[in-house]
Amino acid sequence: MASQKYGKASRTPSIPDIGSADTATILKAMKEWIEVHQGARGDGMDRSVTLRDLLNAGVMTPAVTQAIYRESTPAAVSGPGANPEPAVPPTPTGLVVAGAVSTNIVSWNFARGYTRLAYFEVWRSSTSALGDAVLIAQVYGTIYPDPVGENATFYYWVRAVSDAGTSPFNAVEGVQGSTAPNVQAVTDAVTSGIDTSGLLDQLAIKTSVDGYVSGYGLASTPAEDDGSSTEFAVLSDRFLVTGPASDGVAPASPFFIQTTPTTVNGVAAAPGVYVTNAFLINGVIDHAKIGLLAVDDANIANVSAAKITAGQIAVGEYIESTGYLSGVSGFHISGAGTAEFNNVIVRGTVYATAGQIGSNTIDADGIHSSNYDGSTVGWQLANNGTATFMQAVIKGTVYATAGSFAGDISSATGTFTGNLRAGQFVTGAYTGYAWPAAGSWGTYLGPSGLLIGNANSGRYLQVTYDGQIYAPGFSVVNGTLTISQANVINTANIAGNAITTAATWDFGAPGVPWDDAWNTAAQSSLTFPGGDLFILVQVGIGSQTNSGAPDATKSLRILLNGGEWARWTIQSSTTTFTSGGESGDSYNYIYVPFNASCACICPGVGGSITITIQTYNTGTYYSSIGTSLKMWAFMRQR
């Protein structure tokens, strides 16, 4: 039974010689002591209280709580889900130290519901000062047996640790725990202190009060075959041993013997031996009722218990349920480590080097089906992170930050998030980087580039791996845009805030004189809402003479509403050619093709604009605008 020190322990003096004159005095003192401690005499506050009285009254609780422990370095804290502001663990409470023979059993309470706990730290010191304490264990439950040896006293503290921090110690002052002294040494000391010099060979004392006889006797029996013997008998309803009061300490009786049934203060006391403190080296008990038991080691053939709470259970042979039937029902745990359960619910982590779940095997390489051969059938989840399936149907979402697919991926629906790297991606009739047969459609994306549609059907888009773009009537090659299809830009496909109005004029071949002055070759008007105006002019200018070389210098200008907008000087060395005229004269011609463009910003909200094209002919011969004069006007609104 565990005990703690509360004040000065009573002393047990040596047993004195008892003479016939002392008997009445001793018995009277014993009677008074028993009556005082039973509450029948004196102040009721001096009545003795047993540990069972305290337990039944709820003042004390058993020291061992429901928990387990493991004395080793804990693993890193982990758990599902992340708390953005984890709380420091609460302070352990209710620390109790129960001393056994050579072990102090330390137990405590901890708040339920705290899920981030990593372990508890148990600290110990030979003094009650926390500053002298040292860490002795890290445990995972709320109980720790500390093997300190016999007759040892220590003080203990405990605190909780989690990934959020460390709680305060349970208290500033340590909780004391002491193991039992060496019983053999105490027994030897008591035995050697007994003075037997006053014992007589035969002694018997009897007392009688109102005819009620009590007494004791000490006698030697005659020698028989088995040798001489002695005996000591007491004739009494109750027998106890106590010492006289000394040093202000009330005497105490370690035990008393009740020989007849009695009732004390309303409590029935059956015949038996009542022991307050007992130190046993060896004992045989046929039947026992124990309120609180602290044991270092126990050898028990059969145990029946409503609840077993232990820091560690060592199994020599096996543990099994009463209904255990191998392969059918119940559970069995052997001392060799083999276990069999009908059903298991594990809420923590399971560590195993190998196992079998149904037709699936767990081994050092990973988890795989029993028929897995590595190439044709079965599946495997390898310990290096590789997953191998001969066929897989995934109906949910697949998330991957990296990896590769070898082979074809077929999916009716689905979404890839993140980076996808594949050898090629095809839809429809495509099988590679080549146009399918006419009338077929699809998409190809691969190392060679992108193909959409079908060139054999006239509608397609091709983007090569080096950035070239091809489509019907359109291409971008080496950064140059080419539109090869006619009438691509027209009023039907001009977007807003781009070119909004277009006008085109073809003036044929108007003639102009050669009078060294500006002469109008063509004129037209349009309505312009304001913004940017772009004009493109295409003209062929020619000179005609009937003798000598024609003049090849001409000037061209454009007027907007009578004001000059742009001017060009045209000069060429085009070869002269000769042709016969109506009167048979011979004429020399020179023709200079010319393209001119100009642009101007014309602010305003609208109005009519007159565009005039004039030429200035210098020379001594007749000149004219040659074969053609065309003009285009484009406008962009702001």
Q: How far apart are CA 369 and CA 536, in angstroms?
A: 78
Residues 525 and 584 in one domain: yes
Residue 625: predicted pLDDT: 46
DSSP class per residue in 570-619: EE--PPPEEEE-TTS-EEEEEEEEEEEEEEEEE-SS--EEEEEEEEEE-S
Listed residues 184, 216, 250: the one ending a domain = 184
CA 253 to chain centre: 62
- Give the residue with greater pLDDT, 582 vs 226: 226
Q: Which of 315-324, 426-435, 495-504 has the lowest mean pLDDT?
A: 495-504
3-state secondary structure of 417: coil
The average pLDDT across 369-374 equals 86
| pLDDT given at position 99 | 83
* Entry field: residues in the chain: 638
Q: Is the pLDDT of residue 577 over 70?
A: no
* Mean pLDDT of the residues in the chain: 72
Same domain, 545 and 626: yes
Residue with tokens 């004001």: 563
Residues 167 and 52 occupy one common structural domain: no
Give the model's pLDDT for residue 235.
77
Is residue 144 in a domain? yes
* Domain co-membership, 626 together with 520: yes
CB neighbour list of residue 471: distance below 8 Å, 6 or more residues apart? 460, 461, 462
Asked if residue 544 is part of any domain, the answer here is: yes
Question: Is the pLDDT assigned to residue 398 strictly greater than 80?
Answer: no
Residue 99 and residue 116: Cα distance in Å, rounded? Answer: 31
Read off the pLDDT of residues 105-121 as tens digits, 9 standing for 90 and up: 899 999 877 878 889 99
Lowest mean pLDDT across 86-95, 137-146, 262-271: 262-271
Q: Is the pLDDT of residue 562 over 80?
A: yes
Residue 191 dihedral angles phi and psi, to the nearest 5°: -60, -45
More confident residue, 298 or 271: 271
> 522 with 626, same domain?
yes
Bridge partners, 153 (sequence order): 178
Q: Enumerate residues 6+ apart whose C-beta is below 8 A from 127.
A: 155, 174
Q: Is the pLDDT of residue 436 over 70?
A: yes
Q: What pLDDT, on the 0 to 100 scale, is given for residue 134?
A: 96
The tokens describing 308, both together, are 């077993």
Confidence of residue 575 (pLDDT cuts 50, 70, 90): very low
| Residue 598 confidence (pLDDT) above 80 | no
pLDDT at 469: 94
Task: Give a yes or no: residue 519 inside a domain.
Answer: yes
- Tell me which range, 197-201, 328-332, 545-549, is most confidently predicted by mean pLDDT: 328-332
Place of tokens 């004029």: 505
pLDDT at 606 over 90: no
Residue 488 lies in a domain: no
Would you say the pTM of this structure is higher than 0.75?
A: no
Would you say residue 377 has pLDDT above 70?
yes
Element (H or E) spanning 124, and its range? strand 117-125
Per 3-state DSSP, the chain is made up of helix, strand and coil in percentages (nearest 5) of 5, 40, 55
- What is the predicted pLDDT for the residue at 408? 66
- Transcribe 350-389 into DSSP letters: ---S-EEETTEEEETTEEEETT--SSSS-EEEETTS-EEE
pLDDT of residue 384 exceeding 80: yes
Q: Given a cut of 60, is residue 605 above it in pLDDT?
A: no
Q: What three-state secondary structure class fits 569?
A: strand
**Does residue 124 or residue 363 have the better pLDDT?**
124
**Residues 469 and 548 grouped into a single domain:** no
Q: How many domains does the chain have?
A: 5
The answer to whether residues 142 and 65 touch, using CB atoms and an 8 Å cutoff, is yes
Element spanning 331, H or E = strand 331-334
Copy the structure tokens of residue 558: 């454009």
pLDDT per position as a tens digit, 1-56 = 444 444 444 444 444 555 555 666 667 777 777 777 777 776 666 677 776 666 56
Residues 30 and 118 in one domain: no
Average pLDDT over residues 66-76: 40
CATH number at residue 145: 2.60.40.10
522 burial (CB, 10 Å; 0-12 / 13-18 / 19+) is buried
- Mind listing the pLDDT tens digit for each residue in 215-260? 777 666 565 556 666 777 777 888 888 777 666 666 677 888 888 8
Tell me, yes or no, whether 240 lies in a domain. no
The pLDDT assigned to 197 comes to 38
Largest CA distance in the chain: 191
Residue 347 makes CB contacts below 8 A (sequence gap 6+) with none
DSSP code per residue over 507-552: --------SSSEEEEEEEEEE--SEEEEEEEEEEEEEEESSSPPP-
Query: What tokens does 621 get?
Result: 């011969």
Stronger pLDDT, 135 or 6, i.e. the higher one: 135
* Angle at CA of residue 280, ends 106 and 277, nearest 5°: 70
Over residues 510-538, mean pLDDT: 72
Q: Which of 48-57, 271-280, 283-292, 462-471 has the highest mean pLDDT?
A: 462-471
The secondary structure of residue 95, as a DSSP letter, is: E
Residue 190 φ then ψ, to 5°: -65, -45
Span of 36-50, 217-231, 564-578, 590-604 with lowest mean pLDDT: 590-604
Q: What is the pLDDT of residue 80?
A: 44
Q: How far apart are CA 236 and CA 569, in angstroms?
A: 154
CA pair distance 15, 500, nearest whole angstrom: 130
**Do 101 and 157 share a domain, yes or no?**
yes
Higher local confidence (pLDDT), 75 or 465: 465
Residues 47 and 147 placed together within one structural domain of the fold: no
Domain range for 551 = 503-636
Residue 187: which H helix or E strand, with range?
Answer: helix 183-193
- Across the range 199-206, mean pLDDT stands at 49
pLDDT tens-digit profile of 144-171?
A: 889 998 889 999 999 999 999 999 999 9
What are residue 516's phi and psi, to 5 degrees? 50, 45
Tokens 């310990």, located at residue = 383
- Residue 275 included in any domain: no
Could you give the CA distance from residue 96 to residue 106 in angstroms, rounded to a whole number? 6
For residue 629, being part of any structural domain is answered with yes
Residue 464: which pLDDT band, with cuts at 50, 70 and 90?
Answer: very high
For residues 523 and 594, state if they share a domain: yes
pLDDT for position 37: 72
Among 272, 271, 247, which Cα is nearest to 261's?
Answer: 271
* Domain identity same for 474 and 515: no
CA distance 408 to 567: 67
Same domain, 562 and 626: yes
In a domain, 247, yes or no: no
Q: Are 534 and 634 in contact (CB under 8 A)?
A: yes
